[in-house]
Amino acid sequence: MKQPTGHGKRKGRRVDPSLAILGGALLAGVAVAAWLRGWSGVESGILAGGQLLKTVGLQMLLGFLLAGFVQVVVPSQVISTWMGEGSGLRGVLVGTLAGILAPAGPYVQFPLLASLRASGAGLGPIAAYLTAWSVIPLMRTVVWELPLLGTPFTAARFAFSFPLPVIVGLAVAWLVGLVPRISFLR
């Protein structure tokens, strides 16, 4: 006899581990706040979280919208050709250059990277992009580093930092290629 729909084991649906960890951390935070400060501690945490959402919510919304439009406007074939798993050094260099030129903060970058990944970008180019964006972003370099720390320092730091995203991108691409052959990494 068949079980009615909606009852019994769920097939094919797993809880995202990061979501489970975040949920557990939130519950622990609520419990500690309640234990230390009572309901007012829980209320203060909710208000502080709401204030943070108010501060960055628009940036997050714009980042997710931009990521969605990248998937619609840029053909997957273009992304997979220039930044796909088989793009090699070219893909890593494209990812590095894109990361250097990327002007926005993490609320835009991570949804954008997820969109690129969903459209066929490889993990090596994604790693190169992320590393370049965090280590040698053009906007921060021009607006802050160059005027405050001077040309000699900025030029030297850029020269020594530029290879890092390329190395990271190639290393990640290489390691991802090994994963199917290493049983404990699957």
Ranges of each domain in the chain = 17-69, 75-181
In angstroms, rounded to a whole number, what is the distance separating the alpha carbons of residues 12 and 14?
Answer: 6
- How confident is the model at residue 96, as a pLDDT? 97
Report how far residue 61's alpha carbon sits from residue 143's, in angstroms, rounded to the nearest whole number. 25
CA angle, 72 then 109 then 85, to 5°: 65
pTM of structure: 0.76
For helices 163-178 and 123-135, angle between their N-to-C axes, nearest 10 degrees: 150
Which pLDDT belongs to residue 107?
Answer: 85
Tokens 């903060």 sit on residue: 105
**Residue 15: predicted pLDDT:** 75
* pLDDT score of 10: 53
pLDDT at 20: 87
Which portions of the chain are predicted below pLDDT 70? 1-12, 179-186
CA-to-CA distance for 23 and 50, rounded, in angstroms?
A: 17
Q: What is residue 6's predicted lDDT score, i.e. its pLDDT?
A: 47
